[in-house]
A and B are shown apart, each in its own frame.
Chain A
């Protein structure tokens, strides 16, 4: 697929605080890309730079190869859905959506048709005359999306658009947004701090922290092959243990040696080892990684079991309940072990 947006060596600071450093990223056409990271990681700033509400200190943003620097927001083929929707409260649904078209002085019939079409897309047919304040949060959200897509952008920026919705609605909207993106055939850049949201919806996830990109990849890559301790703990739950890579396919941690599928480290290099909770199986104590069950919570699909191994707590997701106080052993397949480079900065 063609590259739509390319970002090169982008930096941005506000009053001496570096919010983005050295960002390099490209976004393809028709891609659903998510910027994921904790609050203050610079993801919203990156979005605002692309949207044209802020200007980079250095670096380049290109749109289909052309520099965006001198283009004001409304001349970029980019539109934004704001976190708090930013609807015009004194206008009804129709006039909110038609606002931009009217400013472009389109013929009335075209405006009516365009509004009708987007309302159909966001499943709000017949809502034209409704007052904004009479809409629920989810409906306001849809109006905000309709207002953004009615201008036929090539790229839609969504700044935590689901943050204000309740859980059930948020899950429904996740699927609908994905569907809308496919139907429209345009690129979505979606900002969120919710890792589940990112994994559900995205083609590509960009994990950010402290103004830097830590990892770019498909949801599967990010989950299964996190590059470092931060990514591993931010995406889903994980057990992270310090270890030593003895040689290719052999790692030592918790005092035992395990075969694994990782290679390419220096001999005896210090590493971090990640094991996902669902990859661990508990068996009666057999003298390897032995521990005691200290806590168990029923989570619906599975039990979350906490096992204390010599003072270190492991989290295990299992469909089989355990007795608290039971002596168990932690076992896993070689594929369940994921070895990461130890990086002092990301601990």
Chain B
């Protein structure tokens, strides 16, 4: 079995593949240098010379221009907001600034920009290395063409190819650049922040922050300090919330769909429409309305007071006396908002269960209950597993409902994490209200790890993934 590990384990396979391609890439690099023409050999030093040697001037000059551009950025270190990009940025990335600055007068080094530009410079170096290798590849390709008796491609050929056989390259380039700048770069930036002491004391440009290694992580996960004390209750409630929010909506939605789909129910379309109206209404409006309705002087309390069921207004949400009250309230409101989605989806599924299958079960003597648990339920679960997973993940990171209904309250005195705070709403409070960016980053990384791994594991284990084409 051991020798088969690479076959089964995607990660190990990935590492092997990467190492193999690096190795073969290195071999190629050497072969190209050894067997290439003088132009190709030159390309290893001066980009574009191989192409110019083969009279592909435009291409060669573009490569040359890129090399000049990169080297000049790297050497001359242009500055933005007094913070350089270039080889100095690499040093700054390590120190995160040395100039302390004084309270009045001199500014400190901007640690945040230094960190950011460090990442940018790394990115530029990566891009340069790829361009450099492409330049050698291009020169060597021309070598091979000439050696086989053909002419090297002209610039016009290359541009035409971009619109034809290499059209995917043209289309994907802007996408990749976009992903790099707007997704990868900020993500890396955020991950690095988690390893600094960029907390509420730091104002970038006025004072410095520095690398602290895994201090933030240990403070949260192993520490007994303040942060850890806040973190674990929030995490626990987040998981409880995600579980109940998902399954209450799911089960209630299925029941509702079953009821509406019953043959004896009249005005099916009307009922469906009524529930869909909650989807049509912007969520924050219904949430704010709910918050008002359940508030101290809202209609619900007024009515209860009038009937005489209570003597003083009952606090459902942020002012609730116990955490459990507030939590049940938000889960109930979430149920009301989430049910139409499941209902809509399941009624579609129920209408699609082949009627034959029920009849086949009926012949075998299955009762209605047995037919439901043996046919309908597996069918619904099969189809909705991906939905369940995404809905669970979505609930872990659900911001609106908690933020708009309770704002994370009721609060614990002296503790910024409230009793209904989820990881994300706490994250919001930590970073936006308190300025503890480093702790926020750690929590964001952590949230990402649990959502990503939960998704991967449950999705890959689900029957819907393994037996994709069963129900068709």
Contacts and interface: CB of A to CB of B under 8 A. Distances in A.
B146 interface: no
Contacts of B471: 89
B470 A89 contact: yes
A346 to B, nearest CB: 33
B364 A86 contact: no
Given A90-B379, A99-B374, A73 B363 contact: yes
Interface in A275-331: none
Interface string B326-363: 00000000000000000000000000001011011111
Contact of A86 (B357, B374, B469, B470): B357
Interface in A69-127: 72-74, 78-80, 82-90, 99-100, 103-104
B364 to A, nearest CB: 3
B289 to A, nearest CB: 42
A151 interface: yes
A140 interface: no
A79 B363 contact: yes
B370 interface: yes
A85 B359 CA distance: 11
B378 A90 contact: yes
A133 B364 contact: no
- Most chain A C-beta atoms within 10 Å of own C-beta, residue among B360, B363, B374: B363
A103 B364 CA distance: 7
A72 B359 CA distance: 11
B469 A74 contact: no
Given A88-B374, A90-B382, A53 B359 contact: yes
Contact of A73 (B362, B374, B375, B467): B362
B365 interface: yes
Interface residues of B, number: 22
- Most chain B C-beta atoms within 10 Å of own C-beta, residue among A72, A84, A86, A87: A86
Interface residues of A, number: 27
A82 B362 CA distance: 13
A148 B362 CA distance: 12
Nearest to A148: B363
A61 interface: no
Interface string B374-386: 1100110010000
B366 interface: yes
A86 B360 contact: yes
A131 B356 CA distance: 19
Contact of A104 (B360, B365, B382): B365
Given A89-B470, A103-B370, A131-B467, A147 B360 contact: yes
Contacts of A100: 363-366
A86 B360 CA distance: 7
A86 B359 contact: yes
A191 to B, nearest CB: 14
Nearest to B370: A103
A100 B359 CA distance: 12
A147 B364 CA distance: 9
Interface string A40-83: 00000000000101000000000000000000111000111011
B363 A90 contact: no
Given A53-B359, A82-B356, A133-B470, A74 B378 contact: no
Contacts of A148: 363
Given A90-B379, A99-B361, 17 more contacts: A51-B363, A53-B359, A72-B362, A74-B366, A82-B360, A83-B356, A84-B354, A86-B356, A87-B357, A88-B374, A88-B375, A88-B378, A90-B382, A99-B364, A100-B364, A147-B364, A148-B363
28 contacts: A53-B359, A74-B364, A74-B365, A74-B366, A79-B363, A80-B363, A82-B359, A82-B360, A84-B354, A85-B356, A86-B354, A86-B356, A86-B357, A86-B360, A87-B357, A88-B357, A88-B374, A88-B378, A89-B379, A90-B379, A100-B363, A103-B365, A103-B370, A104-B365, A131-B470, A132-B470, A133-B469, A148-B363
7 nearest A-B pairs in the assembled complex, by CB-CB distance: A100-B364, A86-B356, A74-B365, A86-B360, A90-B378, A82-B356, A133-B470
Interface of B: 354, 356-357, 359-366, 370, 374-375, 378-379, 382, 463, 467, 469-471
